[in-house]
Structure 1
Amino acid sequence: MQNKKIVITGGPGTGKSSVIVNLESQGHYCLHEISRQITLEAQEEGIDQLFLEKPLLFSEKLLEARVNQHKESLHLTKEVIFFDRGIPDVIAYMDYFNTHYPSKFDEACERHEYDKIFLLPPWKEIYTTDNERYESFDQAMSIHEYLKKAYIRYGYNPIEVPTDSIENRRDFILNNLDD
């Protein structure tokens, strides 16, 4: 059985993780964002913000972890699998920070395909910062554009999820899986 691989993405603070947690609470299979874990591991090793201090190393770790998530999804017997961010997110952030990267990043995006991309837009009313999220709201808006461009670059047509309650955003995604 070929499962559907659905990415939920967006700039920082757009409510992605809340929607993912809600989908999961409703019995849907979700693979969670892993960049916070990579950041926390680096902090344990004494590097406060790995992405800022060693952006290529951070991105390589993130690429490897997201490729592994994609590979894991190929062996799951779930009809639909939701991803909190996809492989092209790595490219979008490196482009945003003007970080040069080797061709293996593009190749990973081309080799590991998703079925549908849902893009959550910046939403000032819910935006907050924390120890791992340091971007301003203006930066989040810019990152949103880089994410959209990255997914379009790899042949996707991201579907923008309206700003609304978590439940309505979840329902919007579920109602647009087969379009």
Structure 2
Amino acid sequence: MHQHERFFVITGGPGSGKSTLIKALVARGLHGMPEAGRAIIQDQVAIGGSALPWDDRLGFAELMLGWELRSHREARERAGPVFFDRGVPDVVGYLTLCSLAVPSHVQRAAGAFRYNRQVFIAPPWPEIFGQDAERKQSPDEAQATYEAMVGTYSEYGYELTHLPHTSVEERTRFILARIQ
């Protein structure tokens, strides 16, 4: 078994329950890697930086790439399954969504830093969607992000497993049943 086969990505649009699901998996004693975007936004705001999705999208994407590469490297040190709140291909999807060219090094990273072939994707869920200081996207942008991730992960050869709109506990059981 290749090491990356125990790396599971949970992706999708903003506000679809990904981070909450990762927290529930971690609460069960599994390993989780946090989302890059929210932390990068908080850090950039704190230091007056411009690598923000509403200011410098390419700079934001580069910081996300560095975060995802580091998360992938850190996950190698952990035993058992590791759940990622987004992965390297999300950076490609983000740039595509923003109609920006995807630099060749980002494409190479998405091809080289692999995860389990089965990727869990959270479809838009208007009933739980909310905006805050870091999540400024509209429900339409959340839908577009979801579609960009479907296209990107499919393009990189991943098989998408759509998460049901159910409780966190049921979603957790859904995932655990599929990774056994």
Equivalences for 1:13-162 in 2 at 5 Å? 13-47=15-49, 50-76=52-78, 78-115=79-116, 116-162=118-164
Alignment partners' CA distance in 1, 2:62 and 2:49: 16
One-letter amino acid of the structure 1 residue matched with residue 98 of structure 2: F
Deviation at 1:49, TM superposition (A): 6.9
Unaligned runs of 5+ in 2: none
Runs of 4 or more above 3 Å deviation: none
Alignment partners' CA distance in 1, 2:51 and 2:133: 10
Deviation at 1:70, TM superposition (A): 0.6
2:120 and 2:163 in contact (8 A); partners too: yes
Deviation at 1:139, TM superposition (A): 1.2
Of stretches 9-18 and 37-46 in structure 1, the one that deviates more from structure 2 is: 37-46
Alignment partners' CA distance in 2, 1:34 and 1:100: 20
- With over 3 angstroms needed to count, the CA separation of the structure-2 counterparts of 1:48 and 1:105, relative to structure 1, is closer
One-letter amino acid of the structure 2 residue matched with residue 113 of structure 1: R
Alignment partners' CA distance in 1, 2:32 and 2:178: 17
Is 1:8 matched up with 2:3?
no
TM-score by length of 1: 0.94
TM-score by length of 2: 0.93
Deviation at 1:79, TM superposition (A): 1.3
1:117 and 1:159 in contact (8 A); partners too: yes
Query: CA RMSD, aligned part only?
Result: 1.4
Q: Cα deviations across residues 33-58 of structure 1 (Å, max 9, x unaligned)? A: 12111111111222477122111111
One-letter amino acid of the structure 2 residue matched with residue 91 of structure 1: V
One-letter amino acid of the structure 2 residue matched with residue 90 of structure 1: V
- How many residues are treated as equivalent by the alignment? 177
Unaligned runs of 5+ in 1: none
One-letter amino acid of the structure 2 residue matched with residue 21 of structure 1: K
Alignment partners' CA distance in 2, 1:100 and 1:151: 17
Q: Cα deviations across residues 132-176 of structure 1 (Å, max 9, x unaligned)? A: 001111111111010010100100011101100000011111111
Alignment partners' CA distance in 2, 1:107 and 1:17: 26
